[in-house]
Amino acid sequence: MNKFLKVFSIVVLFTMVFVACAPKAESTVMEEEAPAVEEAAGAEESAKPLEGQEITFLTIQPHTVASQNLAQWFEEETGCKVTVDVVPYDNVVEKAVLDVTSGVGYYDVIDFWYPGLGTLVDNGVLKNLDDWYAENADVLELDDLITTFKDVFTTIDGHKYAFPFDGDMHLLYYNTEIFEQYEQTFPTTWDEYYETCKAITEAGAADGVYGCAIQGAKSPLILIGSFLNRFGSYGGSFFDADGNPTINSPEAVIALTGMVEQAQYALPTASAVAFDEALGGWFTGKAAMIEFYTDLPGMTDDPESSSIVGKWGVGHLPIGSGENAKIVASVNAGFGIGVSEVAPHPDAAMEFLNFVARPDVAARYNTVVGGIDPVRYSTLEDPAYIEFAGTEIVDAIKAAHANAITWPTNAEWFELQESLTDNLSLALIGEKTPQQALDDTQAAWLQVLGK
C-alpha cells in the first residue's frame, strides 16, 4: 500500500469513528430541513410545460412588435423561448419556401401573406392542420372567426394549413383639419375623390400639402392593393366564374386610368410611395387622404409618431361608376400563421399555434400598437378593444366586412402578380397606356395558365 492510500485509510477510519460517537441530532434539525424539501417538490410541480425548449418564428417587419409580444407572453406561460426572425413583408413567402426546398428546415412557425398560401402548400411548406382543427374545434371557437378570413387565409383544396392571424383591409381616411381648411367634404365616389385631390393639391402644394397619398411603389402587395381598391369598386374581378383571367376588362381599364390621373395630385412621387412614405405624409399632415388598414387610427393617435392626433375621420373606399359599381373593402394584406412541415421542434410549434389561436390571446394582441387587426368577431365586441381602437373605427370595420373582396390564393398567383405589378408600374410612370398595360398582362396570364 502506498503512502497516499495509508493516509487516506486513516482519515476514513477516523471519520467513521467520529460520526459513530457524535451526539444524535435534535429532531428540530429535521423539521428545519422539511420546508426546503417541500419547496423543491413544489417547484418541480410548478415547472412550466415547455421549459428549456426553443422555437423560431418567421414574421414580417410590420408585425415585429406584435410577434415579440407573443414570444414574450408564450415564454412567460410555457417556458419555451421564441426566437423571432423578421423579414420584409414581400419576402416572407419566398423565405419560407426556400427554407423547406433547400432542406435547411430552420423555421418552426411561419407568419405569411395570405395570397401566398397556394404557393406555400404547393411547395410542401405548411403542415396539414385538418386533424388539429377537428380536435380543437371547441377551443378554437371557429364560429367566432370573421367569415372574410376564416377560409381564404387558411384553406386550399378543402384542406386547412393555417389559422387567421392579421385581418387587414383598406378603408379611406381623411385629415379633418385639412378638409376644413380647404373646404372639402368626404368623397364617396372616385370621381369626387379625384376632384378633392386636385382641389387640395392645387391650393396647398406650395405649402407641402397634397390631396392624397397613393401607394404606387413597385411591390405586388402595395401596387396591386391600390389598383384593387379601384378595380373592385367598378365591379371588376381578376377571373370570371370559369377561372379565365379578366384583367383587361373595361372595369380594369377605367380603374387604372383613374388611378393614373389621381396620381398627378398625390404626394410625390406616387410610383415611389410605399408604406413608409405614405405614412410619413399622413402623420405629418402633408397628405389629406390615405387608403390604409384598420390599425391606422391607433398609430395616428400616438403622439410619439404623429402630429395629427385626433384630426382624422374614416369611411368606406369610394365607389366606382357603371352598372357593376359597388362599395368594397379590399383585403390587400392579411396574414395567416402556420407550422412548417419540416419544423425542427414540431410539438412546441403546435403549442405556439394553439396559443396564438386562443380568443383571449387574440384580444390581447389586438390592443397594442403592433400592426395586427382583428380576425374574431368577439374582438370587435371586446370593451378593451373598443376603448383601444375607438367606436368610429370599430363601426367602420364591421361595415367593411359586408363589402370585403380578397385576392386569389392559387399556386399560380405569385407568378401572375409579377406581370401585373410590372405593367401597373409602367402605366403609372407613363410608359404604357392603361389599356396597353392591361392587355399585356392578360396575354401574360393566359400563357402562365396555359389557356
CA distance linking residue 163 with residue 83, whole number of Å: 20
Instruction: Give mean pLDDT, residues 301-320.
Output: 97
The DSSP H or E segment spanning 267 is none
Q: What is the largest CA-CA distance in the chain?
A: 109
Residue 409 dihedral angles phi and psi, to the nearest 5°: -130, 15
Tens digit of pLDDT for each residue in 380-411? 999 999 999 999 999 999 999 999 999 999 99
Residues shown for the chain: 451
Q: Are residues 359 and 377 in the same domain?
A: yes
Kindly state whether residue 354 falls inside one of the protein's structural domains: yes
Instruction: Give mean pLDDT, residues 185-195.
Output: 98
At 315, is the secondary structure helix, strand, or coil? Answer: strand
Q: Are residues 301 and 211 in the same domain?
A: yes
Q: Are residues 120 and 61 in the same domain?
A: yes
Residue 264 C-alpha cell reads as: 398627378
Neighbours of 36 (CB within 10 A): 9
Q: What is the C-alpha end-to-end distance of the chain, expressed in Å?
A: 95
Single pTM value for the model: 0.87
Q: Are residues 280 and 428 in the same domain?
A: yes
Instruction: Give mean pLDDT, residues 17-23.
Output: 35
Q: Are residues 425 and 307 in the same domain?
A: yes
Kindly state whether residue 10 falls inside one of the protein's structural domains: no
Q: Are residues 392 and 437 in the same domain?
A: no
Given a cut of 60, whether residue 9 has pLDDT beyond it is no
Instruction: Give mean pLDDT, residues 308-332.
Output: 97
Given a cut of 80, whether residue 339 has pLDDT beyond it is yes
Residue 322 C-alpha cell reads as: 357603371
DSSP β-ladder status, 159-160 and 155-156:
antiparallel
CA distance linking residue 251 with residue 266, whole number of Å: 22
Neighbours of 29 (CB within 10 A): 9
Whether the CB-CB separation of 70 and 356 falls below 8 Å is answered with yes
Identify the pLDDT of residue 370. 72
Residue 214 C-alpha cell reads as: 397613393
Which are the contacts of 249, defined by CB distance < 8 A and separation ≥ 6? 236
Kindly state whether residue 201 falls inside one of the protein's structural domains: yes
Q: Give the domain extent around 301.
A: 171-330+412-449
Identify the pLDDT of residue 90. 83
Kindly state whether residue 247 falls inside one of the protein's structural domains: yes
DSSP β-ladder status, 289-292 and 171-175:
antiparallel
Q: What is the CATH number of the domain that holds 257?
A: 3.40.190.10
| Bridge partners, residue 84, by sequence | 57
Q: For the sheet containing 109-113, what is the strand order?
A: 81-87, 54-60, 109-113, 335-339, 163-166
The percent of residues above 70 in pLDDT, for the chain, comes to: 90
Q: Are residues 195 and 248 in the same domain?
A: yes
Whether the CB-CB separation of 391 and 314 falls below 8 Å is answered with no
Identify the pLDDT of residue 29. 36
Given a cut of 90, whether residue 358 has pLDDT beyond it is yes
At 320, is the secondary structure helix, strand, or coil? Answer: coil
Q: Are residues 381 and 438 in the same domain?
A: no
Which residue has better confidence, 15 or 390? Answer: 390
Kindly state whether residue 61 falls inside one of the protein's structural domains: yes
Tens digit of pLDDT for each residue in 45-93? 468 999 999 999 999 998 999 999 999 999 999 999 999 999 998 899 9
Number of compact structural domains in the chain: 2
Kindly state whether residue 251 falls inside one of the protein's structural domains: yes
The DSSP H or E segment spanning 427 is helix 413-428
Q: Are residues 282 and 312 in the same domain?
A: yes
Kindly state whether residue 19 falls inside one of the protein's structural domains: no
Kindly state whether residue 49 falls inside one of the protein's structural domains: no
Identify the pLDDT of residue 15. 37
Q: Are residues 176 and 123 in the same domain?
A: no
Identify the pLDDT of residue 89. 85
Q: What is the CA radius of gyration of the chain?
A: 29
The percent of residues above 90 in pLDDT, for the chain, comes to: 86
Which are the contacts of 142, defined by CB distance < 8 A and separation ≥ 6? 133, 150
State the virtual CA torsion across 197, 199, 202, 208 in degrees, nearest 10. Answer: -60
Whether the CB-CB separation of 107 and 85 falls below 8 Å is answered with yes
Given a cut of 50, whether residue 366 has pLDDT beyond it is yes
Identify the pLDDT of residue 230. 98
Whether the CB-CB separation of 341 and 103 falls below 8 Å is answered with no
Which are the contacts of 272, defined by CB distance < 8 A and separation ≥ 6? 216, 217
DSSP β-ladder status, 54-60 and 81-87:
parallel
CA distance linking residue 149 with residue 147, whole number of Å: 5
Q: Are residues 420 and 283 in the same domain?
A: yes
At 450, is the secondary structure helix, strand, or coil? Answer: coil
Q: Are residues 391 and 326 in the same domain?
A: no
Which are the contacts of 403, defined by CB distance < 8 A and separation ≥ 6? 316, 326, 327, 328, 329
Residue type, 374: P
